[in-house]
Chains A and B, each alone.
Chain A
Amino acid sequence: LAKTTQPISMDSYEGQEVNITCSHNNIATNDYITWYQQFPSQGPRFIIQGYKTKVTNEVASLFIPADRKSSTLSLPRVSLSDTAVYYCLVGDYTGGFKTIFGAGTRLFVKA
């Protein structure tokens, strides 16, 4: 499983776009990139998953460059309720279901 590196924390203001980058230099060919959001004392919640290029859903976009050694989660127009910890996971899960959550990025959105 590829190790991931994310910033420990980020601050933003309501209405701004927030980009959180995750480094995964040892990503393997079969690996997918998945992002989760977690509020205090709640279980993580799936945000988005991708393999390459760009993926967009109703809450976020995921940008993956051609070399796939990093990925960027983009949250458009954040609100106070987006204050949470965001985790980047990398894994193929084809040989099993072992997962490793890194330390995550604590995003604090201010009014």
Chain B
Amino acid sequence: EAQVTQNPRYLITVTGKKLTVTCSQNMNHEYMSWYRQDPGLGLRQIYYSMNVEVTDKGDVPEGYKVSRKEKRNFPLILESPSPNQTSLYFCASSQDRVNTEAFFGQGTRLTVV
């Protein structure tokens, strides 16, 4: 089954404690993205990657890092989480630039206290 898998689904952590949210896709997609969704603000893109070792900033990259060492994985790293990063996070992947049907993961609800 084609899918994008995020882990963990739920996470409560404390300010400053580094964390990683993993994202993996089994569709051999080149393109992957991370979004955060907050009430009233919709979905905002954090980072995206167009291929292995190729990443770029989206609209709200501050406080986040990503890496793309393998095609299937695109982890989101919060080096020093803060309460304003409490949000619902989604990872997405798509096949290519033109065929932009993106497949989204089930989401990770992160709370930073």
Contacts and interface: CB of A to CB of B under 8 A. Distances in A.
Report whether over half of chain B's contact residues are helix, strand or loop; otherwise say mixed: strand
Interface stretch (B41-49, B65-73, B78-86): B41-49
Given A41-B88, A104-B42, A98 B103 contact: no
Contacts of A41: 88, 107, 109
Q: Which 10 A-B pairs have the closest CB atoms?
A: A43-B104, A101-B43, A46-B101, A93-B97, A97-B48, A43-B90, A101-B42, A103-B42, A97-B31, A44-B104
B105 interface: yes
Contacts, number: 66
Report whether over half of chain A's contact residues are helix, strand or loop; otherwise say mixed: loop
A91 B58 CA distance: 14
Contacts of B100: 32, 34, 49, 91, 93
Contacts of B1: none
| Residue from the set B35, B50, B98 with the largest chain A CB neighbour count within 10 Å | B98
B102 A46 contact: yes
Interface of A: 32, 34, 36, 41-46, 49, 87, 91, 93-94, 96-104
Given A42-B106, A49-B100, 11 more contacts: A32-B98, A42-B107, A43-B107, A45-B104, A96-B48, A96-B56, A97-B56, A99-B45, A101-B43, A102-B42, A103-B42
